[in-house]
Amino acid sequence: MSTYRISGVWKNSHNVITHYVFHLVGSNGIGRTTKKSKSDAISLVDNPNNTVFTWT
């Protein structure tokens, strides 16, 4: 099981979200950012072994 935080998004010229910024949360703290496409983000969130939160 993995825990992630989402801290930002990229949008195209039509104001549609295309990518997300993910951080892997581990026992040693928060990992580096990873830019994920919308389809990769959906796969990660839909995985029941993952926990995903947004950061504001």
The predicted structure's pLDDT at residue 55: 87
Read off the pLDDT of residues 5-40 as tens digits, 9 standing for 90 and up: 999 999 999 999 999 999 999 888 888 899 999 999
* Reported pTM: 0.81
Which CA distances in Å does 12 have to 19, 38, 43? Answer: 9, 12, 21
Q: How far apart are CA 17 and CA 21, in angstroms?
A: 11
43, containing H or E segment: helix 38-46
